[in-house]
């Protein structure tokens, strides 16, 4: 059901914002026209024609807003075809303390992304209080409501085909379950997720949710999704859409919490603040880059990686070399076990001065292998002009980080946030507040937390016994045709 218009504190949410492809082959489109799609028709990623700008005076005003009003202020800049009152209502319905409570009850939850101080100048921003206990709920819950609204308005249906190494899948499924006009087909690497992650997804019995366990690594799942999207006839016939991390709606929703986190820690609006972002597909930190381009005074964006350090290598050397499957490690921060970082193309588009021809040339080298090497000048500009630096953390580092944060600050963190903590220790500078983005709760990765602390993390009551619930999935080979046949069978039935 379309949401009913409510009174908005802001008069207009309709901006003349259009979207183009990073590879230059798409005429400008509106927000709702790209919302339901995956890749642009030319294989590029969709991106705003330009970034909206906030002045210091705007920021001073925004600093006082609650999460919902702040989200509207930011997101409405990117939306040109949903009436302001409707957009406000969708945002208000999404970002509530009830949705982002993880079974907890405290007054800080009204902040939606509460910030805790570990010690003066070092903070963790909680992004994992949503239904699946990972930061992906921050964007996905909004996407579920946006999809339902747009599909109902346009009398459309969509079949979401996505790939997940863990958290995207469950976040998508919890956002889309029971939503009218939507089916979800989620590919995941068979046997590669934590028992908790697997149980979260596969215990869903909603008729519109299909879990496909692919007998290979995450990157094969991602390649199958790409192959399906490249089959124009299949895509059109079966109304295939996406919600993986290249979805523009997700990136935009994630921009909001950088503003919220900034305002929570900056003494004065205008002061520099650093963010550390546990990274895989570069979706989260890409949102930080966009916030920075919009005028938020972020100084450094620290891209924190695990042993799968393709992004660390890129930001240190300017060499982008996606790895082969044989060089991909299975780590204890599995949601960052990627060989290539899908959203990186959006940042590199900005880096090369939004020259679509130049960008397309670079990605030709990625698609054909082995990747590309930036000039020394462009490599330096990533740090100097765009504030990017990087860090790397290993399993041994994660154990030390989890132990140290627990012993020093009494806070239990998960393995991905631990990679962020290591990045913070490696790059922190005195006098500059640093915010580590928490990307999941420790209960999702119990085994490693137990290894570090000798005890299990506390479990929210609603998750006790999760692994014992009945599970449902379809095991399929790493073959796009097999997946297509399965999708077709369900829809044609
Ligand atoms: C998805 C995920 C990441 C990586 O985020 P990207 O947007 O892909 O860079 C990190 N940590 C957790 C827990 C995640 O689920």
The reported pTM is 0.92
Helix then strand then coil, % of the chain, to nearest 5: 45, 15, 40
Q: Are 214 and 188 in contact (CB under 8 A)?
A: yes
Q: Which of 9-13, 35-39, 92-96, 125-129 has the lowest mean pLDDT?
A: 9-13
Checking if the pLDDT of 493 tops 70, the result is: yes
pLDDT of residue 168: 83
pLDDT tens column, 457-469: 988 888 899 999 9
For residue 7, name the pLDDT band (cuts at 50, 70, 90): very low
In a domain, 359, yes or no: yes
pLDDT of residue 242: 80
Domain membership of residue 320 as a residue range: 111-132+250-453
pLDDT of residue 300: 98
pLDDT of residue 9: 36
In a domain, 8, yes or no: no
pLDDT tens column, 226-255: 899 889 999 999 999 888 788 999 999 999
Say which residues have a Cβ less than 8 Å from residue 444's Cβ, sequence separation at least 6.
Answer: 133, 134, 167, 194, 196, 197, 414
**Residue closest by Cα to atom 15 of ligand 1:** 167
* Calpha distance 401→455 (Å, rounded): 15
* Calpha distance 35→47 (Å, rounded): 11
* Calpha distance 319→247 (Å, rounded): 25
**Residue closest by Cα to atom 14 of ligand 1:** 335
Distance 444 CA to ligand 1 centre (A): 13
* Calpha distance 347→350 (Å, rounded): 5
Say which residues have a Cβ less than 8 Å from residue 171's Cβ, sequence separation at least 6.
Answer: 130, 131, 132, 134, 136, 137, 140
Distance 365 CA to ligand 1 centre (A): 25
pLDDT tens column, 136-169: 999 999 999 999 999 999 999 999 999 887 778 8
| Number of structural domains in the chain | 1
Distance 378 CA to ligand 1 centre (A): 26
Q: Is 136 close to ligand 1, i.e. is its CB under 6 Å away?
A: yes
pLDDT of residue 325: 78
Distance 464 CA to ligand 1 centre (A): 24
Kindly state the average pLDDT of the residues 13-25. 86
* Calpha distance 330→217 (Å, rounded): 9
Checking if the pLDDT of 3 tops 90, the result is: no
Instruction: Catalytic residue, from 73, 88, 136, 192: name it.
Output: 136
In a domain, 39, yes or no: no
136 is catalytic: yes
- Taking the alpha carbons of 304, 310, 316, 318 in that order, is the dihedral positive or negative? negative
Q: Is 280 close to ligand 1, i.e. is its CB under 6 Å away?
A: yes
pLDDT tens column, 391-450: 999 999 999 999 999 999 999 999 999 999 999 999 999 999 999 999 999 998 999 999
pLDDT of residue 428: 98
State the SS3 of 201-232: HHCCCCCCEEEEEECCCHHHHHHHHHHHHHCH
Q: Is 281 close to ligand 1, i.e. is its CB under 6 Å away?
A: yes
In a domain, 487, yes or no: no
Among 275, 280, 418, the mutation site with the greatest number of ligand 1 atoms within 8 A of its Cβ is 280
pLDDT tens column, 185-219: 999 999 988 788 899 999 999 999 999 999 998 88
For tokens 């989890």, what's the residue?
Answer: 402
pLDDT of residue 5: 36
The CA-based dihedral angle spanning residues 246, 252, 254, 256, taken in that order and rounded to the nearest 10 degrees: 170
CATH code for the domain in which residue 314 is found: 3.40.50.1100
In a domain, 323, yes or no: yes
pLDDT tens column, 66-111: 999 999 999 999 999 999 999 999 999 999 999 998 877 788 888 9
């Amino acid at each position: 059901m379309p949401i009913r218009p409510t009174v908005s504190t802001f008069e207009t949410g309709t901006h003349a914002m259009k979207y183009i492809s990073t590879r230059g082959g798409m005429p400008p489109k509106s927000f709702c026209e790209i919302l339901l799609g995956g890749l642009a028709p030319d294989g590029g990623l969709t991106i705003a024609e330009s970034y909206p700008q906030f002045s210091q005076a705007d920021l001073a005003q925004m600093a006082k807003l609650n999460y919902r009003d702040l989200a509207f202020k930011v997101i409405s800049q990117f939306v040109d075809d949903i009436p302001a009152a409707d957009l406000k209502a969708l945002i208000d319905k999404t970002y509530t303390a009830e949705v982002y409570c993880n079974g907890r009850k405290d007054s800080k939850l009204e902040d939606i992304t509460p910030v805790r101080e570990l010690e003066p100048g070092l903070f963790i921003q909680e992004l994992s209080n949503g239904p699946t206990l990972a930061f992906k709920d921050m964007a996905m819950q909004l996407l579920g409501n946006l999809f339902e609204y747009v599909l109902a308005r346009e009398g459309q249906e969509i079949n979401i085909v996505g790939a997940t190494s863990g958290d995207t899948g469950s976040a998508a499924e919890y956002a889309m379950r029971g939503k009218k006009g939507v089916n979800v087909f989620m590919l995941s690497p068979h046997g590669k997720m934590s028992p908790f992650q697997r149980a979260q997804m596969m215990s869903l019995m909603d008729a519109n949710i299909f879990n496909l366990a692919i007998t290979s690594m995450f990157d094969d799942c991602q390649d199958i999704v790409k192959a399906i999207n490249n089959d124009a006839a299949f895509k059109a016939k079966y109304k295939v859409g996406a919600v993986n991390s290249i979805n523009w709606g997700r990136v935009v929703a994630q921009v909001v919490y950088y503003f919220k986190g900034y305002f929570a820690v900056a003494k004065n609006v205008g002061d520099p603040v650093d963010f550390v972002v546990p990274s895989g597909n570069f979706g989260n930190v890409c949102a930080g880059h966009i916030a920075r381009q919009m005028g938020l005074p972020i100084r450094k964006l620290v891209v924190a990686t695990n042993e799968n350090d393709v992004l660390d290598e890129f930001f240190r050397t300017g060499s982008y070399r996606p790895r082969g499957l044989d060089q991909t490690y299975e780590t204890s921060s599995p949601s960052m076990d990627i060989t290539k970082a899908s959203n990186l193309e959006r940042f590199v588009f900005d880096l090369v001065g939004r020259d679509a021809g130049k960008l397309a040339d670079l990605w030709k080298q990625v698609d054909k292998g082995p990747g590309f090497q930036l000039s020394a000048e462009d490599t330096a500009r990533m740090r100097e002009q765009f504030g990017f630096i990087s860090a790397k953390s290993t399993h041994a580092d994660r154990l030390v980080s989890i132990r140290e944060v627990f012993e020093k600050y009494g806070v239990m963190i998960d393995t991905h946030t631990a990679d962020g903590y290591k990045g913070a220790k490696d790059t922190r500078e005195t006098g500059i507040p640093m915010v580590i983005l928490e990307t999941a709760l420790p209960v999702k990765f119990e085994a490693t937390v137990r290894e570090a602390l000798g005890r299990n993390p506390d479990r929210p009551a609603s998750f006790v016994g999760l692994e014992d619930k009945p599970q449902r999935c379809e095991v399929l080979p790493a073959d796009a045709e097999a997946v297509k046949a399965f999708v077709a069978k369900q829809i044609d039935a």
